[in-house]
Chains A and B, each alone.
Chain A
Amino acid sequence: MTTTITPNRSATLQTRDGFAQLVHAEWTKFRTVRGWVIGMIVAVLVTAGIGIFVAAGDAGQSCQAIGPTGSSSGCGSAPALPLGPDGEPVVDNFYFVRQPLTGNGTLTVRLTSLTSLLPPAGQGLGATPSQPGTVPWAKAGIIMSATSLSTPRAYAAVMATGANGVRMQWNYTGDTAGLPGAVSAGSPRWLRLARDGDTITGYDSADGAHWTVVDVVRLAGLPATVQAGLFTASPQLPARAVNIAGIGQGGGGPTASTAVFDHLSRSGAWPASSWTGGYTQGDLAAEAQGVGGYHQLAGRITVTGQGDVAPAIPDQGEFGSSENTIAIYLTGTFVGLIAVAVVATMFMTGEYRRGLIRTTLAASPRRGRVLAAKALVVAGVAFVAGLLGTAGAEVVGTSIARSRGTQDFPEPWPAELRMIVGTALVVAVVAVLTLAVATIVRRSVAAVTIIFAAIVVPYFLSAIATLPVGVADWLLRVTPAAGFALQQATPQYRQVDAYYAPVSGFYPLAPWAGFAVLCAWTLAALGGAVYLLRRRDA
């Protein structure tokens, strides 16, 4: 019986020509070269190993630093940072002169003076503030808060600041600017808060007659009775980099601020007969030193305080703040990147060296697709290697730190996930970038060196060696090393004065914007690689 001739050959050819077959062929090449597989395993091991090493070294230090008490509570006995409503760590300790307010009501006050004392130069964290000066984010004003002492508080406040004009702030992270300029007896600031249900409106005025709304905020679930009153906060000054040799010790230290209020007026139900003053966390060392307090004299209320009510920033030596973010466990990434770059380079240059490229291109004449298949394979392998390395470093690192009793700066879980998966993505994209560069230059040493110079050197110079901040920021904006921004643990807050520099873990670009810079470089390199691969003889 004669049947139709099966179109066997053409069907086979078609599948061979398919992209899936091409990817499979490249995957076979990759997994059968022992050195490349070993290279990727090395990448995982060094990424995780260095992270674990850092965690072990770090945990050891905290225990030694606390002292030879021998008790387990001696290790990292610093109090845990309180968490705000969104799970972000906050600083919540300030001098609060308060009374309960039941139901709706308003509080109006005039602020005639806000002065600050800075620590004497070169005395560090233990110093008592004694030098008159300006604390840019010293805060004095009025606040309505759901609770008097506990954190997190739902709150809204309108305040004058040391150098940032009038602000309305709420729930730690909210911040709106009001009248600019500093407070003085000649140029006082009138502040008003009005509660209406869940809504609090902040007003400011220069003369007490013409009022401007600063902002209107809704605080969900505000109880019927809130604590309202006057407050003063004075955050610690951050240490600044003095020169290329490192962070200067002279700049940082505690501050104290004093505000003078008068023309206090209220409406609504204020059942208490007198004011209560105190630090919101009560046990601040400042009170032991006698810094902080209030007194009333002929309608004038003077409030002195330290501390802050704001998001917490890591590595600034704040009261009770943990030093390190979990980003330090990702330090091994750059060594893992070198290993991945070496393998990705050889994945392409190996073909040229052995002449295999001619076979590869004969089997699949559409050269762009060959490069795409190679990129897919190397990106996939690098992503898995990066993820194993970073996840291993984070999981083992944090558990070592926890078992030794040291605390990392707490992270909301989305940020932690972004850091781990994002770093793996950086490793994958760098692998593709390396592949593209290797296709362009076709020489191993040149490709590895270009990748090293483009990624590791800028990272090293800005985040490790202390280049001047301007240069470091610029490097991490334009080079592919911008992708490391995905490792930034905490956002920058304009309302917190801190040392926002690459060396303390703050990148000039937002996490995904930095990643986009890396991707743009990679796309450009891939474009060049496809063009040259098509144009040149193999």
Chain B
Amino acid sequence: MSQTAQETLHAEWTKLRTLPGTGWLLLAAAALTIAVGVAVDAASTCGSVGCEADPAKLSLTGVQVGQAIVAIIAVLAISSEYSTGMIRVTLTATPRRCSVLGAKAALVGGLVLVTGALAVLGSVLAGRLILPGRGFTAAHGFPPLSLGDGPDLRAAVGSVLYLALIALLALGVATAVRDSAVAIGLVLGLLYLFPIVSSVVGDQHWQRHLEQIGPMNAGLYVQATVGLKILPLTPWQGLGVLAAWAFGALLLGAVLLRLRDA
């Protein structure tokens, strides 16, 4: 007897919801994102001399830290099943392994979308309130952040999608490697490797390439609202690169899940 998609989703939802850590981690991701955003807003100043900052990017800096917690949530969604042996029960109950992964992806992605939306809204609000006091005023060419403004809206919506894609990437990697420590190490290494290496490579050609293919660099282009012409990719193309990474990781995870013994 096989389950319907709805039943699979319901089963996965029950598991995810009853894990003690999930709620706390989601809360922590949102709180950390907003807190880092507020701290960076408060630490930035835009003096009378050339101020090249991007206010939308500044107030959404917290996403760069919050994404680590999002990755943990996604990794735990699958690797905790392996560490307890629960995966065998799961796959006995739902032999169609891809539906299991699909249900997990939908639920983790959905939860992160909701949390991310709250975190991004909070960060934008904080930026709107704090940045004008730090010299980012209309007189210096910085109107207050507003979701009615096209580029600001793109940065906000894009950041929410960014967090969801990071979750899917982490879920895919964790499905492929199964062990939680290795999975989180790989995901964090993958995210931070490209920006760190590209910052020290002197060759501009290589630097540009690294920034184009790195999931974090490219994905965060969606936050840019000024200086779009000098970006190696357009904002949505950048998010597309991250989406390709996430899709690739999920595909790899799905193939390995089907081929391997649990």
Contacts and interface: CB of A to CB of B under 8 A. Distances in A.
Nearest to B39: A471
Contacts of A464: 195-196, 199
A302 interface: no
B44 interface: yes
B261 to A, nearest CB: 17
Q: Which 9 A-B pairs have the closest CB atoms?
A: A444-B181, A342-B185, A57-B201, A58-B202, A61-B203, A61-B202, A57-B203, A57-B206, A444-B180
A248 B202 contact: no
Interface in A236-285: 242-246, 248, 250
B42 to A, nearest CB: 10
B200 interface: yes
B75 interface: yes
18 contacts: A50-B193, A53-B201, A58-B201, A61-B203, A242-B47, A242-B51, A244-B43, A244-B58, A341-B185, A342-B181, A342-B185, A345-B181, A353-B83, A444-B184, A445-B72, A449-B188, A457-B68, A465-B64
Contacts of B58: 244
B46 interface: yes
B199 A339 contact: no
Nearest to B44: A244
Interface string A466-489: 011011000000000000000000
Contact of A244 (B53, B179, B180): B53
A468 B43 contact: yes
Given A245-B53, A245-B54, A456 B192 contact: yes
Interface string A311-336: 00000000000011000100110110
A145 to B, nearest CB: 36
A498 interface: no
B188 A456 contact: yes
Nearest to B192: A460
Contacts of B197: 50, 53-54, 331-332
Interface of A: 35, 39, 50, 53-54, 57-58, 60-62, 64, 121-122, 242-246, 248, 250, 323-324, 328, 331-332, 334-335, 338-339, 341-342, 345-346, 349, 353, 443-445, 447-449, 452-453, 456-457, 460, 464-465, 467-468, 470-471
Given A57-B201, A243-B45, A335 B68 contact: no
B43 A471 contact: yes
Most interface-central of B76, B179, B204 (chain A CB within 10 A): B179
Given A54-B201, A449-B68, 4 more contacts: A64-B203, A242-B51, A243-B44, A456-B188
Contacts of B40: 244, 467
Contact of B180 (A245, A334, A445): A445
A445 B76 contact: yes
Contact of A445 (B44, B51, B79, B203): B79
Most interface-central of A57, A64, A242, A250 (chain B CB within 10 A): A57
Contacts of A331: 196-197, 200
Contacts of A456: 188, 192
Interface of B: 40, 43-47, 49-54, 58, 64-65, 68, 72, 75-76, 79, 83, 179-182, 184-185, 188-189, 192-193, 195-197, 199-207
A319 B199 CA distance: 23
Contacts of B184: 342, 444-445, 448-449, 452
Nearest to B79: A445
Given A242-B51, A346-B179, A324 B202 contact: yes
Contacts of A334: 192, 196
Contacts of A39: 182
Given A54-B197, A60-B203, A250 B49 contact: yes
Contacts of B201: 53-54, 57-58, 61
B52 A243 contact: yes
B188 A338 contact: yes
Nearest to A60: B203
Nearest to B207: A57
B191 to A, nearest CB: 10
Contacts of A323: 202
Contacts of A58: 200-203
A349 B181 contact: yes
Contacts of B49: 121, 242, 248, 250
A448 B196 CA distance: 19
Contacts of A250: 49-50
Nearest to B84: A353
Contacts of A345: 181
Nearest to A505: B200
Contacts of A332: 197
Contacts of B182: 35, 39, 342, 346
Contacts of B51: 242-243
A345 B184 CA distance: 12
Contacts of B44: 243-244, 468
Nearest to A459: B196
Given A62-B202, A342-B182, A452 B53 contact: no
Contacts of B75: 445
B72 A449 contact: yes
Nearest to B227: A245
B196 A460 contact: yes
Given A339-B185, A456-B192, A243 B46 contact: yes
Contacts of B189: 335, 338-339
Contact of A242 (B50, B65, B76, B204): B50
A447 B196 contact: no
Contacts of B202: 57-58, 60-62, 323-324
A464 B83 CA distance: 35
Nearest to A64: B203
A245 B58 CA distance: 9
A147 B206 CA distance: 45
